[in-house]
Amino acid sequence: MSQPKNTATDQSKIMEKIVSLAKRKGFVYQSSEIYGGLNGCWDYGPLGVEMLNNLKRQWWKSMTYRENIEGIDASILMHPRVWEASGHVENFTDPMVDCKGCKSRYRLDVLFEDMSVKRKKEALREIEPGKFEGQIKDELVIEEFAKRVATDADAAKMVAVLSCPNCGNKGTFTEARKFNLMFKTFVGPVEDSSAVVFLRPETAQGIFVNFLNVQSAGRLKIPFGIAQIGKAFRNEINTKNFLFRTREFEQMEMQFFVKPGTDDEQFEYWRSERMKWFVGLGMKAEKLQWHQHPKDKLAHYAKDAYDIEYQFPFGWGEIEGVHNRTDFDLSRHEQYSGKSLKYFDEVTKEKFTPFVIETSAGASRSFMAFLVDAYSEEEAPSAEGVMETRVVLKLHPKLAPTKVAIFPLVNRDGMPEMATKIEADLRQHFRVFYDDSGAVGRRYRRQDEAGTPFCVTVDSQSLQDQTVTVRERDSMKQDRIAAAALRSYIAERLM
RNA sequence: GCGGGAGUAACUCAGUUGGUAGAGUCACAGCCUUCCAAGCUGUUGGUCGCGGGUUCGAGUCCCGUCUCCCGCUCCA
């Protein structure tokens, strides 16, 4: 009975409860559920899309309501050369093999790389008997080997004679399978190779290819940024953990173009800004941490890279990456397109390729992090004083899908009429919900589960003096205020 | 992709050696009710994930498949 094991079980129970609540209240449904679902795809329901839109709006405001950041919305389908320039065609394809003996999985290139020269020589002899006998220089072996494995046919032969580093068995590998993480489709009705395009695996490239367009249209001076929210697609080998690893997801990206040499300072600035954003929207600071990519494992384009990670019930998971992408992307697009993407500084008369500081947040992942972070179960006394479990989504009011619920305390004496009037009034300004069924306590709890921050109740005193009670979700405390002041009362708390 | 667990009403779950599918919650209609989920009456809702097979008869047994969860693997 180890502690971590119990914890893991409890944690997965929490995840199950959240998934169940998400479905029941209309936040998230499984995609194509009536057909048995589609692996790793999810739909946002009425409350979910409100919350997601709120989340994206908050991000958009925090990014583009600045003097030096503009927004765009680029096409999901892009010219296929874009993905050659970006490195995705080359690096997004990893041939993999599985060992049938011990069930280990390897990336083929890693497997080949880890082989000793001696083994490589043996492998060469096995696939071509007689040709590599006697003394051969190591350099020649390495060179020949690299040449062979570069071709699919010889690589396949090589796999057949390899032994598994884990269990030592020979010839137990499956055939190498390529996992191209980009979704391929065709432009036009004819499915031939000249018509192949990809669904973008990241939104960033839509920004890079528009760098000069946006810069000149907005007469922008370095440093400046371009922001974008949009869907991206990756054909993941396996999906996992609710919204965390899905094949279709949404990104909120801002690429900030800076003068080389100022990149380190800008990098630190944006790291700080992005962490503040999550905390500012109510995410628990102790559930957030930075993870720096080790220098030897940085992606091909990056000089430095940090991820913001959230502590999900299943462990720490990346919700945003802040990366210094250097001038890699612009240089590559310049090279592949033949168009100059350099920036000319009118003041210093300098011409240079800007460095890029990327802030790339997952909208779907952030949504899930905010949902998980808001979920709480607490003990609250019932009317009879018995302690009961209260499930409440403590969402920041800015993110909450419904801002106000309106109840008549009882359905008589003119209370419904007054409550309906308040509802109609507030509906012009906020997402509201009217509920007159069951005991008022039950109605409060229903709203707690949906994360509604405020509940307005019309009681008998309301009929006398035109005041109502406003009940706050987390504290369950009530304020009595004039019905006429409701709009500003709520608006203040959404600022 | 591998291994383990699971899938029965909108939700949480029962369902005996194979013999006419159930409960609670939710929802809806009405009654009652003056501030934190459990009162009363009634109603809707399921080809038991999907597809085969065995059988007189399958939620139950067998095979396949899909989806979710956990672990590994993967996550430029």
Residue with tokens 């921050």: A453
Is CATH 3.40.50.800 the classification given to domain A402-493? yes
Q: Any idea of the CA torsion for A255, A257, A261, A263, to the nearest 10 degrees?
A: -20
State how far the Cα of A456 lies from the Cα of A410, in Å rounded to an integer.
13
Q: Which two three-digit tokens encode residue A199?
A: 């669904």
Tokens of A374: 């808001």
Residue pLDDT, tens place only, A127-164? 777 777 777 777 777 777 777 766 666 666 777 667 66
Q: Evaluate the CA torsion angle A420, A421, A424, A430 in order and state its sign.
A: negative
Q: Binning pLDDT at 50, 70 and 90, where does residue A439 land?
A: confident
Binning chain A into helix, strand and coil, the percentages to the nearest 5 are: 40, 25, 35
pLDDT digits (tens, 9 = 90+) for A201-216: 999 999 999 999 999 9
Residue A6: band (very low, low, confident or very high) from pLDDT cuts 50, 70, 90: very low
Predicted pLDDT of residue A13 = 77
Q: Which residue has the higher pLDDT, A134 or A63?
A: A63
Pairing of strands A350-352, A387-393: unpaired
Whole-angstrom Cα distance, residue A82 to residue A90?
Answer: 12
For residue A446, give the amino acid letter.
R
Q: Which of residues 142-171 of A touch strand B (CB under 7 A)?
A: none
Closest Cα partner for A250 from A55, A19, A20, A401?
Answer: A55
When the pLDDT of each residue in chain A is averaged and rounded to a whole number, the result is 86
Residues 6+ apart with CB under 8 A from A5: none
Q: Average pLDDT, stretch A354-358?
A: 96
In this prediction, residue A151 carries a pLDDT of 66
What's the CA A442/C1' B44 distance, rounded, in angstroms?
A: 22
User: Can you give the pTM of this predicted structure?
Assistant: 0.86
| CA distance linking residue A489 with residue A495, whole number of Å | 11
CA angle, residues A203, A209, A215, in degrees to nearest 5: 110
Q: Which of A114-118, A336-340, A359-363 has the lowest mean pLDDT?
A: A114-118
At A66, list the tokens.
């600045």
- A20-78+185-371 to CATH, choices 3.40.50.1100, 3.20.20.80, 3.30.930.10, 3.40.50.300: 3.30.930.10
Helices (H), ranges, A150-182: 152-161
Dihedral angle sign, alpha carbons of residues A308, A278, A75, A44: positive
Nucleic chain B contacts, protein chain A, residues 364-383, CB cut-off 7 A: 380-383
Query: How high is the pLDDT of residue A283?
Result: 95
Q: How confident is the model at residue A2 (pLDDT cuts 50, 70, 90)?
A: very low
- Indicate yes or no: strand B within 7 A of the C-beta of A245: yes
**Positions on chain B within 7 A of a protein C-beta:** 1-3, 7, 10-12, 26-29, 32-38, 49-50, 66-76
Q: How far is the CA of A377 from the C1' of B22 (A)?
A: 30
Residue A278 near residue A307, CB atoms below 8 Å: no
Q: Beta partners for A97? A: A106
Give me the pLDDT at residue A1, please.
Answer: 25
Query: In this structure, are strands A177-180 and A350-352 parallel, antiparallel, or unpaired?
Result: unpaired
Both structure tokens of A371: 């949902």
How far from each other are the two terminal CA atoms of chain A, in whole angstroms? 49
- Residue A199: strand, helix, or coil: strand
Q: What is the pLDDT of residue A172?
A: 66
Q: Which of the nucleotides lies closest to A380 (Cα–C1')?
A: B36
Q: Which residue has the tokens 């083994």?
A: A119
Q: Look at residue A8 in the predicted model and tell me its pLDDT.
A: 46
Domain boundaries, chain A: 20-78+185-371, 93-180, 402-493
Q: Is A314 helix (H, G, I), strand (E, B) or coil?
A: coil
pLDDT grade for A220, boundaries at 50, 70 and 90: very high
Q: Give the bridge partners for A308, in sequence order.
A: A290, A320
Q: What CATH number should be reported for the domain whose range is A93-180?
A: 3.30.40
A423 contact to strand B (CB, 7 A limit): no
CA→C1' distance for A367 and B70 (Å): 23
Residue pair A307/A288 in contact (Cβ under 8 Å)? The answer is no
Give A464 CA → B4 C1' in Å: 65
Does the structure's ipTM exceed the value 0.90? no
- Asked if residue A422 lies in contact with residue A468, where contact means CB atoms within 8 angstroms, the answer is yes
Q: Residue A115 corresponds to which tokens in the numbers above?
A: 């082989």
A414/A144 Cα distance (integer angstroms): 90
Three-point CA angle A465, A436, A17, nearest 5°: 125
Determine if strand B comes within 7 Å of the CB of A435: no
